[in-house]
Copies of this chain bind each other. A is one copy, B any other.
Amino acid sequence: MTRVLTIAVDVMGGDSGGDFVVPGVELALLRQPETKVLLFGDAQVIKQRLEGNPRVTAASKIFHCDVMVAMDEKPSRALRRGRRVSSMWQCLEAVRDGEADFAISAGNTGALMAMARFVLKTMSRIDRPAMAALWPTVKGESIVLDVGASIGADARQLVDFAVMGAAMANSISGLRRPKVGLLNIGVEEVKGLEEVREAGRILRASDLPLDYHGFVEGDDVGQGVVDVVVTEGFSGNIALKTAEGTANQIATWLRAAMRRSIWSRIGFLMASSAFKVLRQKMDPRRSNGGVLLGLNGIVIKSHGGTDAQGFAAAIDLGIDMARNNLVARIAADMEKFEGAEHAPKPNNSDGTVVLKAANS
């Protein structure tokens, strides 16, 4: 029997005041009817939104919060103003106190990261949390991290990201040894950052539950060359947003092509079912939801501008992570890694071990 999960939901986060949150919860409940839901936010607003929605009403408890974090609020200010009393903070506390299996918010990303670090704390062996995103590929989907939780990363932090990303791939797809690549640039002259190369050396020498593939370039991500793409947050965020922007751009061109003539209209109409498949593949809602990794608890960040379907997809992601004990899995893998670091396998032609300092 599958365990009944409880979700802590920040009802107030999102571009339009989060009006897609309750409908999104409803869609998720259709797929996972046993789930319990804790709703955090302005009680009056929540009650209004629950009207005529018996399914969510029956599955949920309301927790009134006086303060809502604004979408454009500076994280430092949100922390001061929203500490203990905001819907965002309180849904994180529910995870910390074991009342919920994961928290989900479509609110202010920076504030959510800052509050999550405060409330849940970083896992003992993890230096920095990372934000992981699902990236649709021609083969299915891959995980990319960090997509902007922090800027820059040394070799050891990149290795942590690899371990966490592999644990997430395992939780989602059941892959025992996910293929992991380090994002790098291929220009011979420069050959990439020293910390990326050093991370590659550590990953190659370690005996982790992952299959280290080597470097990947920007165009390998969408080809699904690896299951997990590891990079620091600046380039990861730029890569993710560039891919989203390119997909939007091509969608714009495609719509213009469809409207071009009466023949193109009829033609696209005839091809509409094939077209629907394409649209689904390109649908950004499918891969909505970033996961904050490296904390003592699961936190899902939904896009602020999503809709009910997108929010439900982000909940599904959280359910997968919680069912598969993501946090415990990362902790166990990190321990293996620490072990591996102390007793690495030989990587030299004469059978000796050459392992550079991890914290270079």
- CB–CB A150/B190 < 8 A: yes
* A186–B221 alpha-carbon span in the complex (Å): 22
Q: Which of B148, B218, B271 contacts A238 (CB 8 A)?
A: B218
Nearest-neighbour CB distance to chain B for A134, whole angstroms, equals 14
Can you name 7 A-B residue pairings with CB atoms under 8 Å? A75-B188, A190-B233, A193-B234, A239-B239, A242-B243, A267-B267, A268-B271
- CB–CB B189/A110 < 8 A: yes
Q: Which of B218, B252, B258 contacts A274 (CB 8 A)?
A: B258
Residues 146 to 203 of chain A near chain B (Cβ within 8 Å): 148-152, 183, 185-190, 192-193
Residues of B within 8 A of A53 (CB): none
Residues of B within 8 A of A218 (CB): 237-245
Task: Give how many A residues have a beta carbon under 8 Å from the other chain's beta carbons.
Answer: 74
- Give 1 or 0 for each of A258-301: 1 = CB within 8 Å of chain B CB: 10110110111111111101100110000000000000000000
- CB–CB B271/A185 < 8 A: no
A117 nearest CB neighbor, chain B only = B189
Nearest-neighbour CB distance to chain B for A239, whole angstroms, equals 5
Q: Which of B74, B138, B231 contacts A249 (CB 8 A)?
A: B138
* A111–B187 alpha-carbon span in the complex (Å): 10
| Interface check A108, CB cutoff 8 A | yes
- CB–CB B253/A193 < 8 A: no
12 additional A-B residue pairs with CB within 8 Å, beyond A109-B188, A218-B241, A267-B271:
A110-B187, A114-B189, A148-B187, A192-B234, A217-B241, A220-B245, A243-B245, A253-B282, A260-B277, A264-B270, A266-B267, A267-B268
Q: Which of B223, B243, B273 contacts A263 (CB 8 A)?
A: B273
- CB–CB A257/B274 < 8 A: yes
- Give 1 or 0 for each of A23-49: 1 = CB within 8 Å of chain B CB: 000000000000000000000000000
- CB–CB B253/A281 < 8 A: yes
- Give 1 or 0 for each of A289-324: 1 = CB within 8 Å of chain B CB: 000000000000000000000000000000000000
Nearest-neighbour CB distance to chain B for A282, whole angstroms, equals 7
- Number of chain copies forming the complex: 2
- CB–CB A247/B250 < 8 A: yes
* A270–B253 alpha-carbon span in the complex (Å): 17
| Interface check A51, CB cutoff 8 A | no
* A150–B191 alpha-carbon span in the complex (Å): 9
- CB–CB A238/B273 < 8 A: no
Residues of B within 8 A of A220 (CB): 245
Residues of B within 8 A of A275 (CB): 257, 264
A260 nearest CB neighbor, chain B only = B274
Nearest-neighbour CB distance to chain B for A106, whole angstroms, equals 15
Q: A240-B218, A271-B263 are in contact. Are A74 and B188 (CB under 8 A)?
A: yes
- CB–CB A243/B243 < 8 A: yes
* A149–B281 alpha-carbon span in the complex (Å): 34
Q: Which of B110, B223, B242 contacts A239 (CB 8 A)?
A: B242
Residues of B within 8 A of A277 (CB): 256-257, 260
| Interface check A343, CB cutoff 8 A | no
